[in-house]
Amino acid sequence: MYTYKYPHPAVTTDCVIFGYDVKEGLSVLLVERGIEPYRGCWAFPGGFMNIDEDAETGARRELREETGLETAFIEQFGCFTEVNRDPRERVITIAFYALVRKAEVQGGDDAAAARWFPIGEVPALAFDHDRILRVALGKLREKIHFEPVGFELLPEVFTMPQLQSLYEAILEVRFDRRNFAGKMLKLGILEQAEERPAGTGSRIPVRYRFNADQYKEMKSKGFKLEF
């Protein structure tokens, strides 16, 4: 038992895990709760922060347990502290979002209870997780205007139409193909993954790769990505 002179809230981390594929669009990974409260409801993976780890370490631990991924883009985006957000006791949660490649996700330990939901088909969630999702989506949208985070959701090699669909799914807008490709290529952070076989202007899309080193170098020279 641990005793304190003043009451301390419990602290959890929750992780909004975003994935993407062309068929389902932008999706989040939810787990079905096996215990009360909200038993049987879907919620974000999360759990209590250990006393000897910082919040990001805790969130990465949750991510690993659910997806098997050791490395992924992860970012803290807010702390939710409403007094009665958990019916059991005072719990505050530090919320992260993670961007993962769905193809690389292995079902984790609790795989049976985890499922991807397209962003438009998310059921009612446990606790205040509906609100957390809305905030996460907003932050992701803001983020993608200024950082090349979209590539975290795509396979290493991807096509321009794929990239465009991703941006359209996240931002919920439509772009003109030509303008999108032009703007994206002009940023100078994409490289062609391979020469096209032979047939020139064909129906087979060009495959690109995100050049992270190039981006880092440009960024260090004061380049500000803006989309």
Encoded one letter per residue, x for contact with DNA by CB under 7 A and - for no contact, window 109-138 reads ------------------------------
Report if residue 52 touches a second copy, rule: CB under 8 A.
yes
Contacts of 165 (CB under 8 A, 6+ apart): 22, 25
Closest separation between CB of residue 127 and a second copy, Å? 14
> Does residue number 4 form part of the binding site for a second copy (CB under 8 A)?
yes
Nearer CB in complex with a second copy: 30/95: 95
Eight-state DSSP code of residue 70:
S
Taking CB under 8 A as the criterion, the residue among 7, 199, 201, 222 binding a second copy is 7
Determine if 224 is a binding residue for DNA (CB under 7 A): no
For residues 96 and 77, what is the distance between their CA atoms, to the nearest angstrom? 6
Could you tell me the strand order of the sheet in which 190-192 lies?
Answer: 157-159, 207-210, 190-192
φ, ψ of residue 181 to 5 degrees: the values are: -60, -40
Whole-number Cα distances in Å, 2 to 7, 8, 51, 87, 122: 11, 11, 12, 21, 38
Residue 91 host element (H or E): strand 91-99
According to the binding rule CB under 7 A, does residue 160 interact with DNA?
A: yes
User: Is 225 among the residues that bind a second copy (CB under 8 A)?
Assistant: no
- Centre a 10 Å sphere on the Cβ of residue 160 and count the other Cβ atoms it contains: 17
Please report whether residue 204 would count as binding DNA according to CB under 7 A.
yes
**For a second copy, which residue of 17, 28, 30, 49 counts as binding (CB under 8 A)?**
49
Residues 89-118 that bind a second copy (CB under 8 A): 90, 92, 94
Per CB under 7 A, 205 contacts DNA: yes
Q: How far apart are CA 89 and CA 106, in angstroms?
A: 33
Residues forming contacts to DNA in the complex (CB under 7 A) are: 159-161, 176-179, 181-183, 199-206, 226
Residues forming contacts to a second copy in the complex (CB under 8 A) are: 1-11, 48-49, 51-56, 76, 78-79, 81-83, 90, 92, 94
